[in-house]
Amino acid sequence: MTQVVFGFVPVLAVVLTGLFAGLFLSFSMAVMPGLARVEDRAMVESMQRINSAILNPVFALVFVGAPVAVLGSVALFFAAGAHASAVWTGVGLVALVSAVVVTFTVNVPRNNALDAAGSSSRAGEAAAVRAAFEPVWVRWNHVRTLMAVVGLVCCAAGLSLH
């Protein structure tokens, strides 16, 4: 049973971390560049709907599960004396936690402000709401994407060294 857990948890950590990084990367590569091409009201309304739709069990599993599985991997590697794997995976955990911190300190407050703006029926209102949201949200999404990708690379390196 120990071998099953030891084999499963680090692989799960890499898979969940890949999904975690991929989610943020998809926003950087496609969602936000696509929304940048639409008028202000459509962008605001689309992002409000995305913010609502993303709060689902699969997102929760990935967003919470990745750091938890990586933490479990660090503990397993350390307990098994696989110190190089534990260090690489630990660095991956720090990177993932950094992405979570950025999410809760920058992106979520911007999402909440966007949602609180409600429906912007006048063009000037929508433009102001967008201007307060988009540049900062996009910049910090790139940062959390980079941190998540670093986390993925480190977790994969830790797994490969074991």
CA angle 77, 80, 81 (to 5 degrees): 85
Q: How far apart are CA 19 and CA 77, in angstroms?
A: 22
Is residue 141 predicted with pLDDT exceeding 60?
A: yes
* pLDDT at res. 119: 76
Q: In this structure, are residues 68 and 155 in contact, taking their beta carbons and an 8 Å threshold?
A: no
pTM score, whole prediction: 0.92
Average pLDDT over residues 90-103: 98
To the nearest 5 percent, what fractions of the chain are helix, strand and coil? 90, 0, 10
Question: Cα–Cα distances in Å, from 90 out to 53, 120, 121?
Answer: 32, 44, 48
User: What is the tens place of the pLDDT at every residue in 110-124?
Assistant: 999 999 988 766 657
* pLDDT at res. 153: 98
User: What is the tens place of the pLDDT at every residue in 7-59?
Assistant: 899 999 999 999 999 999 999 999 999 999 999 999 999 999 999 999 999 99
* pLDDT at res. 121: 64
Of 20, 18, 14, 157, give the one whose Cα is nearest residue 72.
14
Is residue 61 predicted with pLDDT exceeding 80?
A: yes
